[in-house]
Each structure stands twice: as structure tokens, then as C-alpha cells.
Amino acid sequence: MPGGKILLNGRVWQDAVKIEERDGVIMVPFYIGKQLGDHTNRQLDFDHPIILSDRGGGGGDCVWLSVSAVTHHLDLRWTYLAKSRILILSREEPALRGRRIVLDAGPGNEGAGSSIGKQTEADLNRDTTRKLANILRLSGALVCCTRIAGEQAVLEKRLKAANNFRPDIFISIHQNSFFNEQVNGTEIYWYSNWAAFNLAQHIQTHLLAELGTINRGVREAAFSLLRYVEGVPVLLKLGFVSGQEDRAVIGDPWMRQKAALGIFRGVREYFEENLA
């Protein structure tokens, strides 16, 4: 079975590690628990580690620890994405605790717009939004999504949902498209509010670090979403569905997970600078 990945506090921590699921219990090798203890400056102390047969072909037994027990000892929060074999670990971030964040995955309309294979723009937006919401919630933020499943949500409905939540920040996630496949890159929009410009700058820096896409900059634009939503709003265009280079990036579920990590770190950095 291919190795899993572990994300820790907004970064890829291990990208090829054994992760077992037995009777609904998620487990990692003992050495991972020890390394986590070292990383968090905590001492792990288990009297009865769980021993399972090592089926990886190396012979002998492997000592395993339940993720629930490890995270309890280390004061970490966690979730496991079984389909993609990704274990997400996070401490509660002081800068994010109780922050109200609205995530907008666009209007929906699953059958419209450009696509990558069978994935529409709406699919890509929703998947990235869901991944980001997971990380933010684990870190202590209060998150509202304007749409969760494949439903459509017109602009007025999304604005109402966002403003009823009274967000500190609002992040709308989109893709780009153009008739020329040579046009590629990531860009973020803000409007009028200098706090929004600051948030956009932080997110763009970390998005580019994760995706390696062309920097199309942070731009001001009077989109309705940015003019009429409460809080500090930004609108992200992660890449060009039509772009020769970007298709391979935004069409990859793992790269969308990395996009979520980059957005998360930008949000955390913004709030760390604006703790009041």
C-alpha cells in the first residue's frame, strides 16, 4: 500500500509514512509518535503500545500507536482523510482561536464553465474549500462555507450567508480561464480595504510557495463579492483551467491540498500581525 502523508501545523511534515487503519482505529509507527514528541517538545509515555504484524515485507513486528492516543498526549487536534491517506495534525493556533472565517466556493453550476477531464471548475473550487475548512477548524477557527455540496448558490444567497455569520475575513476561491493556453498563473483580488490588501499579500506569498505557479500579482477589483460582504474579503484565482502549465497543478488533488496549506498559512500570518 502506498505511503501516507502527514500535515502538521500547516506544512507537509512527512510525505511517505505508513498509516494503518484497524477496526476504525488510525495508527502510526512508534517512531512517528516519538518524532512528534520531539517536534512539540513533549514527552511520550505509553506503558502499552499496540503491536501489529509488519506487513510491509521487512519481517518482524512493528510497534504502532493510535493517533488518538498520540494527539491526546501532545495536545494536538487531528483528522484523517482515508481516500487520500492524509493525516492532518494541528495545534490550536492562538491567532486563529475563535476567528470567524467564511469560505466561498463560488456559485456552483456544476455543468458550466471549463473543466479538467471530468472535474469542473465548481468541483475544483469546492474540493479546495473543503480541504481549507478542515485545517482552519482544527486550528480553532470558526468556519462557515457558503455552499458545501454540489448545490448552486447565487450571489445574493452567498452574500446573505456570509454576512449573517459576521466574518472577520471572507475568502472566495475560484479558477481562471482564457482562450490562450499559454496564459497561466495565480492572482488574488481585493477592493478598497487595506486590510484586505494585506491579507491578499500574505496568502499570495504562501500560495506561490506551495504551487510553484506564475505570480500574476495582487490586484484591486470592484467585484460585487468584495464590495458587499462584511469583514475583510479577498477573491482567489488559483490557476487557469485552460492553462497548459496550470492544468496539471490545479487538476491534482494533492496540489489542491497544498493550496489549502498555503492559504491557511497566509491567513494565520495575517491574524498573527493583527491580534487585537
Give the domain ranges of the chain. Answer: 4-90, 100-273
Burial zone of 99 (CB within 10 Å; 0-12 exposed, 13-18 middle, 19+ buried): buried
CA dist 125 and 71 (Å) reads: 30
pLDDT number for residue 106: 80
Strand stretches in the chain, DSSP E: 4-8, 11-17, 20-22, 25-29, 50-53, 61-66, 77-81, 86-90, 100-104, 115-116, 119-120, 142-145, 169-176, 186-190, 215-220, 232-240
pLDDT number for residue 115: 64
189 and 229 Cβ atoms separated by less than 8 Å: no
pLDDT number for residue 52: 53
Nearest alpha carbon to residue 96 among 272, 250, 273, 276: 272
Place of cell 477496526: 23
Q: What is the mean pLDDT of each run of 10 residues along the chain (276 residues)?
A: 86 93 90 88 64 48 84 92 95 96 80 64 92 97 86 84 96 92 96 95 98 97 94 96 92 96 98 85
CA dist 263 and 200 (Å) reads: 10
pLDDT number for residue 41: 80
pLDDT number for residue 264: 98
Cell of 184: 497561466
pLDDT number for residue 111: 46
Q: Which fold has domain 100-273?
A: Aminopeptidase (3.40.630)
pLDDT number for residue 175: 92
258 and 186 Cβ atoms separated by less than 8 Å: no
H or E element: which one contains 196? helix 194-211
pLDDT number for residue 42: 75
| Beta-bridge partner residues of 235 | 172, 189
